[in-house]
Chain A
Amino acid sequence: MIDKSIKILVVDDFPTMRRIVRNLLKELEFLNVDEAEDGAAGIEKLRGGNFGFVVSDWNMPNMDGLTMLQTIRADPELAKLPVLMVTAEAKKENIIAAAQAGANGYVVKPFTAATLEEKITKIFEKLQKEAA
């Protein structure tokens, strides 16, 4: 069973997309959700924020999602944090770059509620298997 009280950070520069993801998470009974408008603000919230999961866009001002992911993986305190990329970037080199940087999942926009649920479930199942 997934712990639904886990704290989730949604990072996207478009407020509408943050609201969509937040509402979908609520539909999946994840109620402990916070938001950040770019990678830099995201990192700031993540440090000491006790987050258990990150859903991030790629193309953002200040710090993009890939740089944020690399920063997370390079930070001993945050390195193991699961990160799901949700982005309109559909080029194969993007998907490969995200996977190599340590993304736990990649969802291409436009996406469905079912896809988001499936990826989140898959990530948590894999993490539980690894922890067991």
Chain B
Amino acid sequence: MTHAALEPAEHGNTAEELLGRIGQLTRQLREGLRELGLDKQVAKAAQAIPDARDRLGYIASMTERAAHRALNAIDLAQPLQEDLASNAKGLSRRWDEWFANPVELDHARQLVMDTRGYLQDVPQKAGAINTQLIEILMAQDFQDLTGQVIKKMMEVVNDVETQLLQVLIDNSHLDKHAEKRHEAEASSLQNGPQVVPGNPEAVTGQAQVDDLLESLGF
């Protein structure tokens, strides 16, 4: 690009002349971009955006789902936990009273029965709490799935960065390496989780995996 076009006009500043000047500048800018290979780099960087958006959407929904699963499990487990504690407290207080004044036999019989009932109740309630703990455990699977997607995102960001850097380093050549890497990725067996539902080449759940394997005789 020359600087001539940027110098102030020495002669009359008519609207016609200004328009002409702007047109000339626009042409120069467009040619400059093309000469630098920038138009293609920008197009390529733009192509990465919808993919990155899908991946971010997947991460957002997976983390939200995991948070809800954990919170729901806690909501279910807490009342059970509180029941166990308050019932034990109540029985303990009644036993304390009886030990302080161990006379009323009928009262003691009821206390023994209630204690027995409580002891029978504990394993069942503890089991129900454990079910919720497993649910919280399983909810953590989001870290693996989103982690894989985040790693892919970092590759995309890295690619965009490489392409933009390439513009600065080499004004006239495209980054052939990045192009090749994209082609290799397309046919890989290591794609990580499916971030957009509805890919006809992928299964949507365990039932489809089982059906496919069965249809193949495995």
Q: Interface on A for B, CB 8 Å cutoff? A: 12, 14, 16-17, 19-20, 23-24, 27, 58-59, 64, 66, 88-97, 99, 106-113, 115
Contacting residues, chain B, for A97 (C-beta < 8 A): 189
Contact A91 B212 (CB under 8 A): no
Taking the closest CB of chain A, its distance from the CB of B188, in whole angstroms, is 10
| A108-B203 in contact given A91-B189, A95-B209, A99-B216 (Cβ < 8 Å) | yes
Task: Tell me the smallest distance from the CB of B20 to a CB of chain A, in Å.
Answer: 57
B190 and A110 within 8 A (CB): no
Could you tell me if A89 and B192 are in contact, using CB atoms closer than 8 angstroms?
yes
Task: Check B143 against A14 for contact (C-beta < 8 Å).
Answer: yes
**A92 in contact with B190 (CB, 8 Å):** no
Question: Does the CB pair A90–B203 fall under 8 Å?
Answer: yes
Asked if A88 contacts B145 (CB within 8 A), the reply is yes
Contact with A along B118-141 (1 / 0, CB 8 A): 000000000000000010011011
A115 to B138, CA, bound (A): 12
A-B pairs under 8 A by CB, number: 89
Name the distance in Å between A95's Cβ and chain B's nearest Cβ. Answer: 6
Q: In the complex, are the beta carbons of A110 and B141 less than 8 A apart? A: yes
Q: Select the residue from B144, B193, B194, B213 with max chain A CB neighbours within 10 A.
A: B144
Chain B window 192-217, contacts with chain A (Cβ cutoff 8 Å), 1 for yes, 0 for no: 11100001011111100100110010
Say yes or no: A59 contacts B148, CB within 8 Å: yes
B205 and A20: CB pair below 8 A?
Answer: no
Residues of A near B193 (CB, < 8 A) are 88, 90, 109
